[in-house]
Structure 1
Amino acid sequence: MSPLNNSKSPTVSVCMITYNHEYFIAEAIEGVLMQKTNFPIKLIIGEDCSTDKTRNICENFQHQHSELIELLPIHNNLGMIPNFIRTLEACTGNYVALCEGDDYWTDPFKLQKQVNFLEANEAYAISFHNSTVYNNHGSTGNLVLKTPRSYTIQDIFRSKIIPTQTVVFRNPNTSFPTTFSKVYNGDTFLFCWLANLYEKGAYFHNDVAPSVYRHHDTGNWSTISLKNKYFHSLHTMKVLYNTFPKYKKDLLFRIQQMQLEYNSLVKEKNKKIHFAFEVAKFAFQKFKFGFGRLIIRRVL
């Protein structure tokens, strides 16, 4: 069955947020339109009041495929996380697939393969696969995981292993926690929250062609300074701790990793010290033991 030729409620809702993606959004939408499935799908586009031609392009696709595409109304710019949350909340399918407006899928059977797995394995929250990174000059690398395996919530806390545009997850049909709106790294928070709801966390597939993550000059994450990327990520770890205190050891491990990664990428010692003291303050306030001293000693 083609997903274009049905009027049933969707099995999969595709959540696509977009802002100023006029050069990329058509390819992202076409990656959804090419899907071959035996179940109905619906593309939900959360366009966030772009200042370029993104909304016009989305409207043209919606007019051509009104049975498949829902373009959410907007009157003012919401910002990335509020727009992400409202688009997720509009997804009514049993499963939700993610693809931002500057990324795209390459495998026409991607959704069918991932839904087949989740249907047969009800304990899993998330299905994901490999990704290729592209910049303005072409491919710059891959996330190449080779062996199919499970990833627990602890694995997800400890490393950023799940490319957002590869994910299909089981729709929990419940309200998101209020802390979701307080983070910048919404995908990280979402994956941890989902993994906590089910017996098993995420499953990696090696039978799906890699999707494409674009790293470009106008990307939401690409335009942020290195320091701010790490501070945003640290703040997300703080929010995750408040939401999932039983995983504090795994969060500490990730915070220490972040600090070491940051120090290896910057040369100015004052930046290292600044970040170290922020992490140390967090460690003293939240965990009440000497992890902060360890970080400061390693930096100084």
Structure 2
Amino acid sequence: MRYPGSVRSSERLSRTALRSRTGLMLNQEARPAVKVSVSMITYNHEKFIAQAVESVLMQQTNFDYELVIGEDCSTDNTREILLEYQKKYPDKIRLFARECNVGMRQNGHLTRSACTGQYMAFLEGDDYWTDPYKLQKQVDYLDAHPECAYCCHRVAVLYDGKEDDSFGAYWPKGEQAEINGFVEVLTGACEVPNCSVMIRRELQTSMPDWFIKMPIGDYPMFCLCAQYGTVYYSSEVMAVYRRHPQGLTSSWDWSKPVLNRRLVCKHLL
């Protein structure tokens, strides 16, 4: 199912979160608010980061967007590559180069906190988007559906450049409903690939203290935000989720998702 093309002025959801802007090491001045902020975190992604950045820069939109990058003190050439991109696209890219390695959870929190857009999309430095109209399609949907907290879509899965049969080459592997709610996200009936999401930024600008301590950050955030509205899922494939020997899931402790769900249930139910 493709994203509907109708557009109307967006409305804010009734419940909003407090804003937090602590702990950032900035190397770029904040700019006027844009329609969409793309939040990208990266660490030691020199083989993949250019493709990730290019997939954002290729987006065709009728609105302004920014790419906000949190580079977590990589030990390879990731930072050097990003500095070149930032010099080439100073009006589009805001680069936050950490003075020390703060870890994925904190880097993600700091990078999201630096975003200014009405909506926020996510992309890690080893994944990439494949549809040049991805941002436009998702903005059109959120503008037209103020009851929707966030939207997501199916993604292709690659392992070392080849389709990954362990995920059935796609994620989610099977069918799932278009319109979902908190229960579907909590139980996993609605799977939400991180690189597919566009969310209303106001919903995640203040997360509870327990969120930072969770073993996996994406799932709790998507559960928290699903409390504020519906979740729209499209089966259209518009991104690639990459698995590789240096990636998070290659050495994954598969007990963590189970623990994550138990902890989220403890805090939210």
What TM-score bracket applies, with the shorter chain setting the length? 0.7 to 0.9
- Mapped partners of 1:236, 1:182: distance in 2: 10
Mean CA deviation greater in 40-49 or 233-242 = 233-242
More helix by share: 1
Quick one: distance in 2 between partners of 1:184 and 1:38?
Answer: 38
More relative contact order, 1 or 2 (CA 8 Å, 6+ apart): 2
- 1:66 corresponds in structure 2 to 90
Does the 8 Å CA contact 1:28/1:103 hold for their aligned counterparts?
Answer: yes
Deviations 1:231-286 (A, max 9, x none): x22332233123202xxxxxxxxxxxxxxxxxxxxxxxxxxxxxxxxxxxxxxxxx
Partner of 2:244: 216
1:90 lines up with 2:111 in the alignment? no
Identity of aligned residues (%): 38
**Unmatched 5+ stretches in structure 1:** 1-6, 246-300
Partner of 1:3: none
Report deviation, 1:210: 2.9
Q: Is residue 154 of structure 2 the alignment partner of residue 130 of structure 1?
A: yes
CA contact (8 A) 1:179 1:239 kept: no
SS of structure 2 residue aligned to 1:203: strand
1:229 corresponding residue in structure 2: 254
For the residues of structure 1 that align with 2:170 and 2:221, how far apart are their CA atoms?
23
Q: Deviations over 1:30-71 (max 9, x none)?
A: 000000001100000011111111111111111100100000
Is 1:153 matched up with 2:178? no
Cα distance change on mapping 1:148 and 1:41 into 2, 3 Å: farther
Distance in 1 (CA, whole Å) between partners of 2:243 and 2:266 is 31
Residue 56 in structure 1 maps to residue 114 in structure 2: no
RMSD: 1.7
Does 1:162 find its partner at 2:192?
A: yes
**Does the 8 Å CA contact 1:36/1:108 hold for their aligned counterparts?**
yes
Q: 1:31 aligns with which of 17, 33, 55?
A: 55
Q: How many residues align?
A: 232
In the other structure, the counterpart of 1:293 is none
Per-residue deviation at 1:209?
3.7
- Preserved CA contact (<8 Å) 1:13 1:92: yes
Q: What pairs with 1:1-300 in structure 2 (closer than 5 Å)?
A: 9-140=33-164, 141-143=169-171, 149-159=178-188, 161-172=191-202, 174-196=205-227, 198-200=228-230, 202-206=231-235, 208-224=236-252, 228-230=253-255, 232-245=256-269
Q: Secondary structure of 2:150's match?
A: strand
Structure with bigger gyration radius: 1
Contact 2:69 2:95 in 1 (8 A): yes
Q: Tell me how far 1:115 sits from its aligned partner.
A: 0.5
Would the alpha carbon gap of residues 130 and 46 (structure 1) be closer, same or farther in structure 2, given more than 3 Å must change? same
Pick closer, same or farther for the CA change 1:88–1:148 going to 2, 3 Å.
same
Deviation at 1:153, TM superposition (A): 1.1
* Contact residue 43 and residue 125 of structure 2 kept, 8 A: yes
**Whole-Å Cα distance in 2 between the matches of residues 184 and 66 of structure 1?**
35
Amino acid at match of 2:70: G
